[in-house]
Amino acid sequence: MAKGKEKISSQKETFVKVLRYLKPYWFYLGVSLVLAAVSVALTLYVPKLTGRAIDHIIAQGRVDFPAIAAVLKQIAIAIAFTGLAQWIMNICNNKMTYHIVRDIRNEAFRKIEILPLKYIDSHSYGEIVSRVIADVDQFADGLLMGFTQLFTGVMTIVGTILFMLATNVGITFVVVLITPLSLFVAAFIAKRTFTMFRLQSETRGEQTALIDEMIGNQSTVQAFSHEEKAMEQFDEINSRLETCSLKAIFYSSITNPATRFVNNVVYTGVGLTGALLAVGGRLSVGDLSCLLSYANQYTKPFNEISGVVTELQNALACAGRIFDLIEEQPQVPEKADAAVLQGSNAFRGDVDISHVYFSYTPQQKLIEDFNLTVKPGQRVAIVGPTGCGKTTMINLLMRFYDVDSGAIRIDGTDIRDMTRSSLRTGFGMVLQDTWLKAGTIRDNIAMGKPDAAEEEIVAAAKASHAHSFIKRLSEGYDTVISEDGGSLSQGQKQLLCITRVMLCLPPMLILDEATSSIDTRTEMKIQEAFARLMEGRTSFIVAHRLSTIREADVILVMKEGKVIEQGRHEELLRAEGFYAQLYNSQFAV
């Protein structure tokens, strides 16, 4: 019982949110309602005119042709205006629907841009994509059907009863008496479809996520012979999707036969009652024809509305998932008085990390009471086993995550007191995972400095040793690459990311396994370029190959979120501690 109330409450909340998006387009809604009323009124007026035409056929050889011709003209005019009204109404409904869908997608995408990284990290990309693309499409289909058929359906029911009352009260009473049967059928179907369609939508998102993951990592799947396991996962999700889809389709498929049964009951009731009245002389043949037409038109909307209700259940289920994303808690907003710093001279590079605590989940502690002072121009290397918190420290420095307690200060200012944009312009990052956008090589290099001159771009490429391979490409710097680099090798993509940093010359550097995909000879040259780049710049270097950090001013040895050793390379080797074990393990046979 409690679950049922929660579902109804959830549907109501979702519907109220949909109405909020509809509010800016009230004009289209108003016009659509007026035109729906006009269309229904004219459609229902045609049977009345047809009945009059029939009554002008008095007997064999006694037909009032002039009167019938006049009625036919009226019918033609009514049909023409009905068609025009429906055409304009459909335009309004389409505009409403796709404006609302556009607004929802825009808001969903804007929310993704400001969501904290912990949300992105805890949800698969495919599942998020499924919400923004597939669920919004499903919602649009249901919403359009609702606007197109729900308005006209309800008005047709009300209008038909009014026209029937004007023709014969008794027969109208018979129709109204059978109406609750249609309402019961619609309610029965509606209650059972929402849950099934929501489950179908969630399972579809899970399936999309798996497909996205498998396609994006196909080489890894094949390298570890994971194909059969992946197929088993897909089959299991596909089986669940089949089950919930069949249930959803079953409940929605009984709509048509159930409502058609009700239609036939109503039509039969009107036909029998009307025939008895006509035989008794209390109803003309024209009026009986008119009432039978009304009975048919009265029951048809119930058939359509039941289908609309089913689609709306699906639409609301999808909308609920979209709104869950839109209403997700965004990252901590900027302070109203947050400092805005611009230019390479905005930072000296004095970094102070004081009593920092951080964990991704409350149950699993990671960084505890972390303290570090870095002077401007120092090179700080962070080493340690996998999962010790090296990359986490970079995420905290860049404020991709906020500390749980403690503070990180740059030049004496807490990074929470400056805008994220300002903070990040002060750092140049080269990560192990490369990121390139669809566009030319030049566009990708100049991403951080769009106004860079051609000479600057070429100079940066030469400094990073990327110039030679760029010149070998078909169009050189104008070569267009697809998202994530297309046919470029991993090493070439990483060289482009390094070139991007070389061009910007930021006051502080973060190098997280920056040369992991580059051959040894090129790496030696890039290390020389990095050495020149790091002169006078505060630099944080995360490396697994300890041979690359010998020249660091300070080496932090991390283990389980804490700095257990600190010093220069030679000092730490002489101490014969954990760093010495890590370093010597590289040469163990």
Of 348-357, 470-479, 510-519, the range with the lowest mean pLDDT is 510-519
Strands annotated E in 359-479: 367-374, 379-383, 405-410, 413-414, 427-430, 439-440
Cα gap 463→327, rounded to integer Å: 46
Whole-number pLDDT of residue 1: 42
Share of the chain above pLDDT 70, in %: 87
- Pinpoint the alpha helices (H) of 353-453: 390-397, 420-425, 441-445
- Reduced to 3 states (helix: H, G, I; strand: E, B; else coil), residue 536 is coil
Whole-number pLDDT of residue 5: 46
Whole-number pLDDT of residue 60: 53
Share of the chain above pLDDT 90, in %: 2
Q: What letter would DSSP give residue 364?
A: B
> Residue 218 corresponds to which tokens in the numbers above?
């196909």
Cβ contacts of 106 within 8 Å, gap of 6 or more: none
CB-based contacts of 4-11 (< 8 A; 24+ apart in sequence)? 4/191, 7/194, 7/195, 10/320, 11/194, 11/316
Q: What letter would DSSP give residue 418?
A: B
Whole-number pLDDT of residue 84: 93
**Hey, how many other C-beta atoms are within 10 angstroms of the C-beta on 160?**
26
Cβ contacts of 558 within 8 Å, gap of 6 or more: 382, 383, 384, 388, 389, 390, 393, 564
- Give the mean pLDDT of 22-34: 85
Whole-number pLDDT of residue 67: 81
- pLDDT tens per residue, range 517-576: 667 776 777 777 777 777 778 888 887 666 567 778 888 888 776 778 888 888 888 888
Whole-number pLDDT of residue 162: 82
The answer on pLDDT for 9 being more than 60 is no
pLDDT confidence tier of residue 186, bands split at 50, 70 and 90: low
The answer on pLDDT for 342 being more than 80 is no
Whole-number pLDDT of residue 2: 44
Cα gap 578→555, rounded to integer Å: 12
- Reduced to 3 states (helix: H, G, I; strand: E, B; else coil), residue 410 is strand
Please classify residue 76 by burial: count the beta carbons closer than 10 Å to its beta carbon, then call 0-12 exposed, 13-18 middle and 19+ buried.
exposed
Of 267-276, 400-409, 553-562, the range with the lowest mean pLDDT is 267-276
Of 300-309, 466-475, 482-491, 534-543, the range with the lowest mean pLDDT is 300-309
Between residues 104 and 64, which one has the greater pLDDT?
Answer: 104
Cα gap 208→191, rounded to integer Å: 27
Q: Minimal CA–CA distance to 196: which of 259, 246, 237, 145?
A: 246
The answer on pLDDT for 326 being more than 90 is no
Q: Which of 1-10, 99-108, 219-228 holds the top average pLDDT?
A: 99-108
Residue pair 366/396 in contact (Cβ under 8 Å)? The answer is: no
- Give the mean pLDDT of 109-122: 80
Whole-number pLDDT of residue 3: 47
The answer on pLDDT for 403 being more than 60 is yes
Q: What is the mean pLDDT of the chain?
A: 79
pLDDT confidence tier of residue 299, bands split at 50, 70 and 90: low
pTM > 0.85: yes or no? no
Residue pair 302/258 in contact (Cβ under 8 Å)? The answer is: no
**Hey, how many other C-beta atoms are within 10 angstroms of the C-beta on 453?**
10
Distance from chain centroid for Cα 91 = 26
- Give the mean pLDDT of 428-445: 84
Between residues 75 and 178, which one has the greater pLDDT?
Answer: 75
In the sheet that holds 413-414, the strands lie side by side as 367-374, 351-358, 405-410, 413-414
Whole-number pLDDT of residue 30: 85
Whole-number pLDDT of residue 407: 92
The answer on pLDDT for 11 being more than 90 is no
The answer on pLDDT for 119 being more than 70 is yes
The answer on pLDDT for 344 being more than 70 is no
Chain length of the chain: 589
